């Protein structure tokens, strides 16, 4: 039950981040600028919690060795920078609910990846739950009473990269979790490294002029949205790391279903996106699938998978 509650709140915060980004994009804010707000705000929040609680895991430079830096770089690119850059790029031209729906495809991709690599034992009930949730997503997409014009198809194809990179991130962050490390310092380090990379990238790409580190927005309300986005992003990152630690990558990927429900509801309430009775019935299938998956204990713990990865690497190097 603890994992389910954590999954619910983390999904709500992440869905809220996507909605806030949609509002900022409609105001003309560039994707990398929104991503920079998200990462910098989250870093500040997590650094504050880290210093206040003194939750450093291990003292000194233990979190600055090569294995940790590699974890920050690879896990951050797959799980933060690439998928959210894609989200913030496509969300201006696609309905926010549809972006959430595409994000929800990550559970099936994660499950397929972990099964392919032999790191998730077969479980018929869990598989059925994931497929049931995916069926709900598909039903919402095919029953959506909105025509997709030719200009939107490139953005739809681009959006498919979101669940794909999230699936690889869920797998990598689990199997490569540095032994003995704690969630909060890892999340803080990953966000900080991605922020260091993203700032010059945004400047050289022309999306963030040096004279305008905080863009002049057209309304005070969007400034408020930016602050809320930062807070929600920090809470969602911290929650996802804890959830990955206690429940494993496949369970974490179920967060996509929560994001679907949140973005669809917010799109209806604030952007007048319309859905029919069939859509709500499909969303019920999503939550039934989620409950079926959450009822099963997850044995894919990050620590044990790290040892498997080390053994596989050792065998490869000896060949």
Question: Per residue of the chain (319 residues), what is the pLDDT tens digit?
Answer: 788 888 899 999 999 999 999 988 888 888 998 998 899 888 888 888 888 876 544 444 557 788 889 999 999 999 899 999 999 999 988 888 888 878 877 777 777 777 777 766 667 777 787 788 778 777 766 765 445 556 777 888 888 899 889 889 878 877 888 887 887 888 888 899 999 999 888 888 888 766 555 555 555 566 788 888 888 888 887 788 788 778 877 777 778 778 888 888 888 888 888 767 777 787 788 778 766 765 654 444 444 443 443 333 233 233 4
pLDDT of residue 193: 92
pLDDT of residue 87: 94
| Domain boundaries defined on the chain | 2-318
Asked if 119 contacts 305 with a C-beta cutoff of 8 angstroms, the reply is yes
Q: How far is CA 72 from CA 80, 177, 193, 197, in A?
A: 10, 10, 6, 11
pLDDT of residue 315: 32
Which phi and psi (to 5°) does residue 50 adopt?
Answer: -60, -45
Q: How far apart are CA 95 and CA 90, in angstroms?
A: 9
pLDDT of residue 269: 86
Asked if 176 contacts 309 with a C-beta cutoff of 8 angstroms, the reply is yes
pLDDT of residue 308: 42
Q: What is the pTM of this model?
A: 0.77
Q: How far apart are CA 102 and CA 256, in angstroms?
A: 9
CA terminus-to-terminus distance, the chain: 45
């Amino acid at each position: 039950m603890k994992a389910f509650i954590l999954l619910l709140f983390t999904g709500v915060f992440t869905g809220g981040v996507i909605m806030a980004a949609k509002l900022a994009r409609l105001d003309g804010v560039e994707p990398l600028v929104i991503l920079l707000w998200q990462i910098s705000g989250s870093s500040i929040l997590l650094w504050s919690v880290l210093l206040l609680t003194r939750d450093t895991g291990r003292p000194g430079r233990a979190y600055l060795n090569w294995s940790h830096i590699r974890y920050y770089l690879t896990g951050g690119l797959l799980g933060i920078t690439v998928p959210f850059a894609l989200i913030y790029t496509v969300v201006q031209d696609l309905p926010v609910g549809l972006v959430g729906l595409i994000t929800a495809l990550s559970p099936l991709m994660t499950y397929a990846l972990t099964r392919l690599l032999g790191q998730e034992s077969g479980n018929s009930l869990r598989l059925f739950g994931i497929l049931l949730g995916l069926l709900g997503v598909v039903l919402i997409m095919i029953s959506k009473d909105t025509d997709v014009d030719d200009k939107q198809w490139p953005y739809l194809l681009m959006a498919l990269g979101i669940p794909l990179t999230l699936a690889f991130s869920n797998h990598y962050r689990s199997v490569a979790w540095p032994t003995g490390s704690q969630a909060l310092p890892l999340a803080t380090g990953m966000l900080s490294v991605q922020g260091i990379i993203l700032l010059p990238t945004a400047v050289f790409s022309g999306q963030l002029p040096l004279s305008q580190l905080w863009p002049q927005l057209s309304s005070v309300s969007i400034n408020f949205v930016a602050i809320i986005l930062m807070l929600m992003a920090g809470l969602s990152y911290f929650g996802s790391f804890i959830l990955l630690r206690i429940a494993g990558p496949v369970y974490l990927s179920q967060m996509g279903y929560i994001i679907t429900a949140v973005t669809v509801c917010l799109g209806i309430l604030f952007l007048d996106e319309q859905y029919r009775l069939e859509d709500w019935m499909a969303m019920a299938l999503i939550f039934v699938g989620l409950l079926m998956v959450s009822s099963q204990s997850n044995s894919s713990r990050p620590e044990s998978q790290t040892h498997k990865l080390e053994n596989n690497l050792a065998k490869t190097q000896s060949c």
